[in-house]
Structure 1
Amino acid sequence: MSKSTRATMALSKAGIAFTTHSYDYDADADSIGLAAAAALGEEPGRVLKTLMLLLDGKPACAIVPSDREVAMKKLAAALGGKSAQMMKPADAERISGYKVGGISPFGQMKRVPVAIEADALKQPHVYINGGQRGLQVRLAPRDAVDLLGAIPAAITA
């Protein structure tokens, strides 16, 4: 597995301190995020999942702990929209430039609005997908917010 992806290159270019962590990706897992947390031996609240959504019909991204679900109305409000819904997997892959299960918010093909669950900022470090299945990057959550221009908000149910 290559540990050099568009995501890791974007982090390096921005001067963000991070480490890469590989694990055995299980495409059949009920929850990819929870499976990643278990494989990494980390609390699910520290392993964040990247979700591609449509905010009033336009692409957006949400970053939430792997053991939580996005509250669509809260997400839409946080990003200044009226409604949000999950993006179809094929559209998520086309817009992000990554395969489902390996979607990272870093180094996407096009910059989109990003919201991150505010509780994640209480963690000393978090894991976020590194741009391919089975690869996570460990970094300070504030660095992710700064690089992405993400809006910290209570966006989970």
Structure 2
Amino acid sequence: MVENVGVSKKKRSGKGTPATVMLDQAGVPYTVHPYEHNPDAESYGLEAAEVLGVAPERVFKTLMADVDGELTVGIVPVSGTLDLKALAAAVGGKRAGMADVATAERVTGYVVGGISPLGQRKRSRTVLDDSALSFDTVYISGGRRGLDIELAPDDLVKLTDAITAPIGRPA
């Protein structure tokens, strides 16, 4: 089932996620792609790509890393992995490591597997893999498992104040 949400300036009362509310408030066009999440899936992102029939290079996962003591969001294709050295270099840091799950969930307000780069509780520095710019639209988590949002990568950059850099590497 694919639902075209479009653009709405008003807040939905109790509906949607912080990510979709943020998009609505910004007046940014997007499409919601809900799907039946399989709790046994080995990879949330690859599951989304397969179920939605989208190339994994267009579906992006949101990862939290600690770069020199500061939480940083890395957004990379689900077909690959986050290059921690490249992420650190992109933000002028020296060392990066993955943030622990509890920290990522607390800071973003989302559960792992459903972390969206949009509508996070606390805004963190954000880096989007530059491969996203080669697509008209990309897919990101909508804020819960089983929900992806399709939007233009330029809109994602604007809404997250992201920088773009080559931070992904093939799996």
- TM-score w.r.t. the length of structure 2 is 0.88
Q: Is the 8 A contact 1:3 1:20 kept in 2?
A: no
Deviation by residue 1:92-143 (Cα, 9 ceiling, x = unmatched):
1001000111100101001100000101110110000011111111000110
Query: Which residue number in structure 2 is paired with residue 124 of structure 1?
Result: 136
Shift of 1:3: 6.0
Pick one of 75, 98, 115 that aligns with 1:63: 75
Map 1:113-152; keep pairs closer than 5 Å: 113-152=125-164
Query: Which residue number in structure 2 is paired with residue 80 of structure 1?
Result: 92
Q: Is the 8 A contact 1:3 1:135 kept in 2?
A: no
SS at match of 1:21: strand
Deviation by residue 1:74-93 (Cα, 9 ceiling, x = unmatched):
00000111111111111110
**1:109 lines up with 2:121 in the alignment:** yes
Q: Is the 8 A contact 2:32 2:148 kept in 1?
A: yes
* Unaligned residue ranges in structure 1 (runs of 5+): none
Map 1:35-54; keep pairs closer than 5 Å: 35-54=47-66
Paired with 2:152 and 2:55, the residues of 1 have a C-alpha distance of: 15
- TM-score w.r.t. the length of structure 1 is 0.95
Pick one of 94, 99, 109 that aligns with 2:106: 94
SS at match of 2:66: strand
Q: Is the 8 A contact 1:115 1:151 kept in 2?
A: yes
Number of residue pairs matched by the alignment: 156
Shift of 1:26: 2.4
* Unaligned residue ranges in structure 2 (runs of 5+): 1-13
Shift of 1:52: 1.0
Larger Rg: 2
Percent identity, please: 49
Shift of 1:22: 0.5
Deviation above 6 Å: which 4+ runs of structure 1?
none
Map 1:19-34; keep pairs closer than 5 Å: 19-34=31-46
Q: For the aligned residues, what is the CA RMSD?
A: 1.2
SS at match of 1:131: strand
